[in-house]
Structure formats: C-alpha cells, structure tokens
C-alpha cells in the first residue's frame, strides 16, 4: 500500500492519467444523467406538444411526434368556452388565503412550541407531524358531510377549512423547527430588559424568522395549489372549482379532447414552474423539512 502512494506521488504520468480518468468520469456522469433526463422530461414535453395540436390531430394515427400545424386553439377554447380563468383564480384565492392564515397561526403557535415545555407537547408534536401526511381520502368523508350540513359546499370558506387540515400542521412544523434554531438568549435578553413574551416574540424573534416565513409560505402555497381530493368532493359547481378538478373533469366518458386536457394541464402547472424557478432553494429545504434535522 505504501508503494502505491509512492507511485502516485512520484510517477507524474500516472497523475496525468488520474485527471484524465476524472474527466472521463464526469463525461460519463453527464451522459448518464442526460439519458435519464430524457424520459423524465418527455411527459412534460408531451403535455406542451399535445396542447399545440388540433383536436383532429390528437385523434389521428400514426401519432405525430410534433404538431403538423402548431395551434393555440386548445388554449383559446379552455379559456373562452370552459371558463379556465375562473378555475385558476379560484385555486389562487383558496391557496393564498389558506397559506396566509396558516402562516399567521403557525408563526404565533410555532414560537410557543419552540420555547415552552408542557405536559402533552410530545404527543401534540407527533400529531402535528402525522397530520401533514394524513390519508386525505378518509378526511374527505366527514368534511363532505359537515360542508353539506353547514352550507360550506361550493364556498371558498369550505375549501379553505379543508385545506387547513394539512396546511396548518405543515406550517406549524416548519416554523417550530426554525424557531428552535434561533438562540433562546435573544428573546430572554429582551424579557430581562422588561419586554413581555409577546413583545420579545414580535420585536426580536419574528423579524429573524422572516426567511422561514417566506419558505414556509412557498411550500404551503404549492401544496394547496396541487391539492385534488378535497376540491373534487367539496365543489359541485364551477363557482369555486379549482384548476386540478377542472383539468381532470375534461376527460369525458366517451370522447376526450386531449389537446384541451393537455393545455389545461400546462396552464395549471405554470404557477408551479414560476414559484419553482424563483424559490428553488427554499423548496428543497422545505421538502426535507422533518426528514433531516437541520
């Protein structure tokens, strides 16, 4: 083994070949990544390509890999005939409001969970963690009934309450984790100086948590935007129907205008792409939320 080290150090041609090997390794890696990337992105490209075909061309054999005539008629149709503007703004309103009050409650209570100990705290925290990935298909059943009984079906309020079942615990968990990383000394010093706990929270800790508020809001917004089950069950008319439900409902029992379905899927994905492009780093951190202890 000792001789090998000596070889590597003394023998300069050997070192050259080492850097050559590294270059070869990188080329191999890039090649392999591209090979996996092609099937990964193909369905996304296929959404865009299909959305640019005419309805006739989507029902033609053999399947064309690129549109013969590039056309935006599918986009025109879903906005003019199918009211997709409304579904977009519905989803936007529900996602934004759910996020806004999720963040507000989570910032306030998250501070409490991070700073104080009390009797049932471990149990509550376990519940908060589980609630983020609770089987939504079970929750949908009581929510359907409650909504009917209290007139919340087809209302923003009904959807916002339902979405809060997963947005609230999501925000609470991320905020709590972040507050725990802010040194206690800071708010305790403020309290020693005579500030109330609320003042210490508001003036000292909350300003420091601003990046976490942003990251949490982004994740919460995307999660709400992407939701399907609650929106499917709690909207029966197009009044508050969200984009997810609208996309899926374009698939007909007998005929489907696939260019419109694909245009709708593309439109529904645009806000995600925008958020994704600008806030990639925050999203990554959020995705790892509970999985890795920071």
Partner 1 sequence: MAVESQRAGVPSRRRAAHGHRKTQIHPFLFVAPSVVLLLVLLALPIGQAFLRTFESDAGWGVDNYVRAVRDDHLARLALRHTFYFAFFSVIGQYIIGFTVALLLNGHLPFRGLFRVLFLVPWMLPAVVPGIVWRWIFDGLFGVFNELLYRVGYYSETDIPIAWLGQTSTALGATIVANIWRGFPFMMVLLLAGLQAVNDDLYEAASVDGANAFQRFRDITVPAIKGISFVAALLAWIGNFMNFAIVQVMTAGGPANSSEVFATLIYKNAFLYADANYAATLGIILLALLMIPGALYVRVATRKD
- Token pair 């929510």: residue: 143
- Identity of the residue, 70 or 198, whose beta carbon is nearer to partner 1 in the bound complex: 198
Determine, following the binding rule CB under 8 A, whether residue 143 of this chain makes contact with partner 1. Answer: yes
Determine, following the binding rule CB under 8 A, whether residue 10 of this chain makes contact with partner 1. Answer: no
Give the C-alpha separation, 105 to 173, whole Å: 11
> Least distance to partner 1 from the beta carbon of 5, Å?
6
Contact residues for 240 (Cβ-Cβ < 8 A; gap 6+)? 90, 94, 154, 155, 156, 158, 159
User: Using CB atoms within 10 A of its CB, is residue 97 exposed (0-12), middle (13-18) or buried (19+)?
Assistant: middle
Total binding residues toward partner 1, as defined by CB under 8 A: 107
Determine, following the binding rule CB under 8 A, whether residue 56 of this chain makes contact with partner 1. Answer: no
Give the C-alpha separation, 206 to 210, whole Å: 7
From 81, 118, 149, 255, residue interacting with partner 1 (rule: CB under 8 A) = 118
Torsion of CA 284, 290, 291, 294, to 10 degrees: 70
Q: Single out the segment in contact with partner 1 by CB under 8 A; choices: 42-50, 68-76, 77-85, 208-216.
A: 42-50
Between 255 and 294, how does the x/- string for binding to partner 1 read (CB under 8 A)? ---x--xx--x--xx--xx--x---x--xx--xx-xxxx-
The half-sphere exposure of 98 on its side-chain side, counting CA atoms within 13 A, is: 32
For 62, the 3-state DSSP assignment is coil
> Least distance to partner 1 from the beta carbon of 225, Å?
7
- Identity of the residue, 186 or 192, whose beta carbon is nearer to partner 1 in the bound complex: 192
Determine, following the binding rule CB under 8 A, whether residue 52 of this chain makes contact with partner 1. Answer: no
Determine, following the binding rule CB under 8 A, whether residue 197 of this chain makes contact with partner 1. Answer: yes
- Identity of the residue, 70 or 106, whose beta carbon is nearer to partner 1 in the bound complex: 106
The half-sphere exposure of 157 on its side-chain side, counting CA atoms within 13 A, is: 6
**How big is the chain by its Cα radius of gyration, in Å?**
26
- Identity of the residue, 40 or 181, whose beta carbon is nearer to partner 1 in the bound complex: 40
203-232: contacts with partner 1 (CB under 8 A): 222, 225-229
From 26, 56, 186, 274, residue interacting with partner 1 (rule: CB under 8 A) = 26
Between 237 and 256, how does the x/- string for binding to partner 1 read (CB under 8 A)? ------xxx-xx--x-----
C-beta atoms surrounding 248 within 10 Å: 14
The half-sphere exposure of 204 on its side-chain side, counting CA atoms within 13 A, is: 21
Determine, following the binding rule CB under 8 A, whether residue 158 of this chain makes contact with partner 1. Answer: no
> Least distance to partner 1 from the beta carbon of 254, Å?
13
Give the C-alpha separation, 265 to 48, whole Å: 9
Determine, following the binding rule CB under 8 A, whether residue 29 of this chain makes contact with partner 1. Answer: yes
Give the C-alpha separation, 153 to 235, whole Å: 6
Q: Single out the segment in contact with partner 1 by CB under 8 A; choices: 68-76, 151-159, 160-168, 206-214.
A: 160-168
């Amino acid at each position: 083994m000792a001789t090998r080290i000596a070889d590597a150090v003394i023998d300069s041609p050997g070192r050259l070949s080492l850097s050559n090997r590294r270059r070869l390794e990188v080329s191999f890696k890039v090649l392999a990544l591209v090979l996996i990337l092609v099937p990964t992105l193909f369905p996304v490209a296929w959404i865009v390509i299909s959305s640019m075909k005419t309805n006739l061309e989507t029902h033609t054999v053999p399947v064309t890999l690129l549109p013969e005539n590039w056309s935006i008629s599918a986009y025109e149709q879903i906005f003019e005939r199918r009211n997709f503007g409304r579904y977009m703004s519905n989803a936007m309103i529900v996602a934004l409001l759910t996020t806004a009050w999720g963040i507000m409650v989570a910032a306030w209570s998250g501070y409490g969970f991070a700073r104080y100990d009390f009797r049932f705290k471990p149990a509550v925290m376990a519940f908060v963690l589980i609630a983020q990935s609770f089987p939504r298909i079970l929750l949908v059943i009581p929510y359907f009934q409650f909504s009917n009984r209290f007139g919340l079906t087809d209302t923003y309020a009904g959807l916002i309450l339902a979405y809060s079942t997963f947005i609230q615990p999501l925000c609470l968990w991320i905020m709590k984790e972040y507050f725990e990383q802010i040194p206690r000394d800071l708010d305790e010093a403020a309290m020693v100086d005579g500030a109330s706990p609320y003042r210490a929270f508001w003036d000292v800790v909350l300003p420091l948590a601003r990046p976490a508020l942003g990251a949490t809001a982004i994740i919460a917004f995307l999660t709400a935007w992407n939701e399907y089950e609650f929106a499917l069950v709690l909207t029966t008319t197009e009044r508050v129907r969200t984009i997810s439900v609208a996309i899926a409902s374009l698939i007909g029992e007998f005929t489907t205008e696939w260019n419109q379905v694909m245009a709708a899927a593309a439109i529904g994905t645009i806000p995600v792409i925008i958020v994704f492009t600008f806030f990639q780093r925050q999203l990554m951190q959020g995705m790892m939320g509970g999985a890795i202890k920071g």
